[in-house]
Chains A and B, each alone.
Chain A
Amino acid sequence: MATKNVLDTVAKKFIQIGLPKDLFERNKFNLLVDRNKIIVRYPAPGVRSEVVETPTGVKTKVYVEPGTKLEEPVTLCFGAAETTEVQTTEGEIVVGEGADVKFQVYGAMAEGIKLKHKNKLKVRVEKNARFEFLDLHYNGEDTFVELDTETDAYIGENAYFRSVFKQTRGRAGKVRIVLKAQVDKKGVAVFETKMIGKKDDEIYVEDVIHLNGEESRGISKSRIIAVDETKATFVGETYGNAPRCRGHIDCSEVIRGKDVTVKAVPVVVVNDETAKVTHEAAIGSIDKKQLETLMARGLTEDEAVDVIVQGMLR
């Protein structure tokens, strides 16, 4: 593992792009990776893990012991403090029966760097377990990242899985996010994506939820703000394959600027007469009444847009 010096350098660069200072000051990380180097590793109680460095990144295996309940989130960071050609991260997470945990994962791409990031993640949430995976991305305004990430999740009987992808700061870059879930009896899958694209950013988000078990539920929610010349596509597919399963796709994309291209494709397939899958998709400019309300309180148009957008991305 790295020296304090290395950690300080990385901390400085990541705090600069908006990562909470507190994470570093209070040693919150259970795992911190810079490109393909493990900088910090600190085990969380009830969580067994294996992390190995590879030529271009890291491979992780995480096993949350059955019944583990953690108040504090397990905190991870996969980042790059310097330009590198590719960073590959591969992970496998198994959340044991009845466990209840939250992972807070920071993606940090330092100001001005360029990089391709490939990520593959397999998630298995066992019976009666609850797992929240908050994936928070911080990029610099001058950073260019090509991100390609795929998550494959299995949600067991009466288990709950919520995955949130948030691009909180900076340029989105060129992004492809694919999330897939197979949901068993009474299981719940919630996918949320919140992003803002600027300049010539390209965003592609695909949520696929298979509701395979009786009374399983799926929610796929996306909020994409497309500014300047951004191209954004959201594809939400939900398959209602079992009795009394319920699915909902809720996608709202806001466009700001004449040169944006935005597409929303909700696909709803039902194979059981008692299943119900619904969708709402809205593409449009910022709601005028919201804008005018804030302006009537004295905000300028740009300030009002910012408030509304930050609210949607919350």
Chain B
Amino acid sequence: MTPILTVNDVKLTIDGRPILKGVNLIVNEGEIHAVLGPNGAGKSTLAGLIMGINDLKEPDSGEIIFQDKLVNGLDITERAKLGITLAWQEPARFEGITVEEYLKLSGRNNPELDVVECLELVGLDCSYLNRFVDDTLSGGERKRVELASVLAMRPKLAVLDEPDSGIDFASMEDIANMIKTMRERGTTVLMITHREEIAEIADKATLMCDGKVVQTGDPKEVGQKFKTMCVKCEVRNPELVGGE
């Protein structure tokens, strides 16, 4: 197995508060890798560092390596051109830009781009093509359009920050299938999620807590650990383990 992304002992402090405390993670080419963990564990911060967004251009220490290339310090466009992209937990809204235009921009380097198919894969029909990507789309629709734009781009690595949040329960299977399709088309997927049924489609899972990786391995086992350990973990609930 060839690693496509290696996160090596990454540490980050924001306003004097350590947020990532030495994160190690390897994502292999072609896999779906789930990241689980409680609120505030540092999952979105890690995602931000991989893409270079939110002023998270480089960690205080440690390395982020994409296909043998150190991406610390690179700007967002450079990382995107290497083949990395990210779908936000809360995607941006654009005034005056249609879904079709957005998908075409996202997929402008994809010779096989089919915008209607991208929409269908996320459960939206072609009537959405001339809708604006603004606040007239519902929260769930906007999330779907974001996933469609990742499909349109067809990157080597897609970092999906909670692709399932804001999506109705009945559509979970669609989202799961969409992520599998993404992988079939050559995209490695690193996805942050709180939902077991989504984590279960992963080949591997990583559990993060309090800025650290607690466990990496089989998604079922990691999910189980998350359920049983994390809710009562010593970091968040010290009294349960006889702390202060």
Can you list the 8 inter-chain pairs with the closest CB atoms, starting with the nearest? A311-B96, A314-B96, A295-B76, A289-B92, A298-B80, A311-B97, A297-B106, A290-B92
Q: Do residues B88 and A307 form an inter-chain contact, with CB atoms below 8 A?
A: no
Chain B 69-99 interface 0/1 with A at a Cβ cutoff of 8 Å (1 = within): 0000001110111001110100111111100
The answer to whether A298 touches B109, judged by C-beta atoms less than 8 angstroms apart, is yes
| Interface SS of A by simple majority | helix
Interface set of A (CB-CB < 8 Å, partner B):
223, 287, 289-290, 292-301, 307-308, 310-314
Question: Which residues of B, 78-133, contact A by the 8 Å Cβ criterion?
Answer: 79-81, 84-86, 88, 91-97, 105-106, 108-109
Supply 10 A–B pairs (Cβ within 8 Å), ascending by A. Answer: A292-B53, A293-B88, A298-B108, A298-B109, A299-B77, A299-B80, A308-B94, A311-B95, A312-B95, A314-B96
Q: Of B53, B94, B153, which contacts A298 at CB under 8 A?
A: B153
Chain B residues positioned under 8 Å from A314 (CB to CB) = 95-96
Residues in B whose Cβ lies below 8 Å from that of A292:
51, 53-54, 76, 92
Q: Does B149 lie at the interface of the complex (its beta carbon under 8 Å from any beta carbon of A)?
A: yes
A166 to B: closest C-beta gap in Å: 12
**Extra 17 A-B pairs, beta carbons < 8 Å, given A296-B53, A311-B95, A312-B96:** A287-B92, A290-B94, A292-B51, A292-B76, A292-B92, A293-B91, A294-B105, A296-B85, A296-B86, A297-B80, A297-B105, A297-B149, A298-B77, A300-B77, A301-B75, A311-B94, A311-B96
B109 to chain A, nearest CB (A): 6
Give chain B's interface residues, CB within 8 Å of chain A.
51, 53-54, 75-77, 79-81, 84-86, 88, 91-97, 105-106, 108-109, 149, 153
> In the complex, A269→B93 CA distance in Å?
31
Residue in A289, A296, A310 whose CB lies within 8 Å of B96: A310
Chain B residue nearest to A223 in the complex (CB): B95
- Which chain A positions have C-beta within 8 A of B106? 297-298
Q: Is the CB of B77 within 8 A of A301?
A: yes
Contacting residues, chain A, for B105 (C-beta < 8 A): 294, 297, 299, 307
Residues of B within 8 A of A289 (CB): 88, 92
Residues of A near B81 (CB, < 8 A) are 298
How many angstroms between the C-alpha atoms of A107 and B81 in the bound complex?
41
> How many contacts between A and B, using CB within 8 angstroms?
62
Q: B78 → chain A, closest Cβ, in Å?
A: 9
Q: Report B201 CB to chain A, min CB distance, Å.
A: 24
Chain A residues lying within 8 Å of B93, measured Cβ to Cβ, are: 290
Instruction: Give the Cβ gap from B48 to chain A, nearest Cβ, in Å.
Output: 9
Which chain B residues lie closer than 8 Å to A312 at the CB level? Answer: 95-96
In Å, the complex CA distance between A294 and B106 comes to 8
Rounded to whole angstroms, the CA-CA distance of A307 and B105 in the bound complex is 9
CA distance A308 to B93 in the complex (A): 10
List chain B residues, Cβ under 8 A from A307: 97, 105
Q: How far is the CA of A313 from the CA of B96 in the complex (A)?
A: 8
Closest beta carbon of chain B to A290's beta carbon, Å: 5
The smallest beta-carbon distance between B111 and chain A, in angstroms, is 14
Q: In the docked arrangement, what's the CA distance between A95 and B93, Å?
A: 38
Contact between B85 and A297 (Cβ–Cβ < 8 Å)? yes
Report how far A308 CA is from B75 CA in the complex, Å: 19
Q: Tell me, in angstroms, the Cα distance from A299 to B79 when the chains sit together.
A: 11
Kindly report which residue of chain B lies nearest to residue A311, judged by CB atoms.
B96
A295 B80 Cβ-Cβ under 8 A = yes
* Chain A residues, Cβ within 8 Å of B79: 296
> Which residues from B are CB-within-8-Å of A299?
77, 80, 105
Nearest B residue to A290 via CB reads B92
Q: How far is the CA of A300 from the CA of B95 in the complex (A)?
A: 19
- Contact present for B92 and A296 (CB under 8 Å): no
Contact of A293 with B92 at beta-carbon distance under 8 Å, contacts A298-B108, A299-B77, A301-B77 already known: yes
Q: How far is the CB of A294 from chain B (nearest CB, A)?
A: 7
- Assembled-state Cα–Cα distance A287/B90 (Å): 14
A276 to B96, CA, bound (A): 27
